[in-house]
């Protein structure tokens, strides 16, 4: 009886949030160990289907870095990193595209379909919603570093995404974009998620990672920050509190906020129902990032 009452109480608590987010778009970025664990991924995608069932409009953007590195090793290719970005030549891009489309995007869509949803894979071998230009990074000496076939996203086909969401379809986006000439560019999945959230004017961006949000002290797991605003984030970056591993996720959130997204979240996708707990409960379990904290 007590367990049943607790479940009913949880549903009542969730009711307010279900009403609040009805017909709202939420962009979910999948990455890390979630993509390597089929059972964990299925549980998380079940939560995504639940979100759609109660009226939300989820969009998934996924990475696949670990699987790409493994595939390169099997092909006898060594990954070269430049300022945290994978240098991408033609052979590398072929592997990136194969892994992201056939080994990651297609299985995600298959699982969503098995769970009763209507997914659509959006990538460089189907309807590509991402446009990009070659990314060149400054070297600190007034010159630009060539990363090969790496892209900086310049445009997102928001109209197509809105149409799909309104029709009850869950878009599943792989971060390989098209350039003006019709060529393909390998893009960072975190950046892609931020750009998609901004373009679609999403209610939320949720970045699922292997960490329990942002810590004030990376050596102290109890220093987890529940809520932080953009100004505090920039201060933490300047002080070096936010390290290289967390930086792409934080930058993704900042891109979304700059584009008008109300809140961005970084949560640990390995925790069961972390996605639902972050959205449908008062406290949440990760770090939410807002443009400006209330009262400031």
Q: Which residue has the higher pLDDT, 268 or 245?
A: 268
- Residue 13 or residue 168, greater confidence: 168
Please report the pLDDT score of residue 296 as a whole number.
Answer: 40
pTM of the model: 0.91
Q: Are 257 and 202 in contact (CB under 8 A)?
A: no
Is residue 221 pLDDT above 80, yes or no?
no
pLDDT for residue 243 is more than 70: yes
Residue 173 CA to residue 62 CA, distance in Å, equals 6
Please indicate whether residue 231 or residue 1 has the higher confidence score (pLDDT).
231
**What digits encode the pLDDT tens for the residues 40-95?**
999 999 999 999 998 999 999 999 888 998 999 999 988 888 777 788 989 999 99
CA atoms 158, 164, 170, 174: torsion sign: negative
Smallest CA-to-CA distance from 105 within 33, 41, 194 is with 41
CA distances (Å), origin 231, targets 179, 188, 260, 291, 292: 34, 24, 16, 8, 8
pLDDT of residue 90: 93
- The residue among 121, 107, 113 whose CA lies nearest residue 52 is 113
Band (pLDDT 50/70/90 cuts) for residue 137 is confident
Distance (Å, rounded) from C-alpha 227 to C-alpha 214? 9
pLDDT tens-digit profile of 159-192? Answer: 999 999 999 999 999 999 999 988 999 999 999 9
Looking at residue 295, its pLDDT comes to 44
What is the set of domains in the chain, with CATH numbers?
24-290 (3.40.1160.10)
């Amino acid at each position: 009886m007590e367990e049943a009452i607790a479940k009913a109480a949880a549903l009542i608590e969730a009711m307010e949030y279900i009403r609040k987010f009805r017909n709202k778009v939420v962009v979910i970025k999948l990455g890390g160990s979630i993509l390597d664990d089929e059972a964990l991924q299925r549980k998380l995608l079940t939560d995504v289907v639940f979100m759609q069932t109660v009226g939300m409009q989820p969009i998934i953007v996924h990475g696949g870095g670990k699987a790409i590195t493994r595939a390169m090793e099997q092909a006898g290719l060594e990954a070269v990193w430049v300022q945290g970005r994978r240098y991408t030549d033609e052979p590398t891009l072929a592997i990136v595209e194969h892994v992201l489309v056939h080994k990651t995007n297609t299985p995600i869509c298959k699982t969503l379909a098995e769970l009763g949803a209507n997914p659509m894979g959006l990538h460089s071998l189907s309807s590509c919603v991402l446009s990009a230009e070659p990314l060149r990074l400054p070297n600190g000496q007034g010159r630009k570093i060539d990363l090969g076939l790496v892209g900086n996203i310049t445009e997102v086909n928001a109209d197509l995404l809105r149409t799909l969401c309104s029709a009850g379809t869950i878009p599943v986006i792989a971060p390989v974009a098209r350039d003006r000439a019709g060529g393909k560019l390998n893009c960072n999945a975190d950046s892609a998620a931020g750009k998609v959230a901004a373009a679609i004017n999403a209610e939320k961006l949720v970045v699922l990672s292997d960490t329990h949000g942002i810590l004030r002290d990376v050596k102290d797991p109890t220093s987890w920050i529940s809520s932080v605003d953009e100004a505090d984030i920039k201060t933490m970056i300047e002080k070096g509190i936010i390290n290289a591993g967390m930086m792409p996720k934080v930058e993704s959130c900042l891109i979304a906020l700059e584009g008008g997204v109300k809140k961005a979240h970084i949560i640990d996708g390995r925790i069961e129902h972390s996605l639902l707990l972050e959205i449908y409960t008062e406290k949440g379990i990760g770090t939410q990032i807002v443009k400006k904290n209330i009262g400031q």
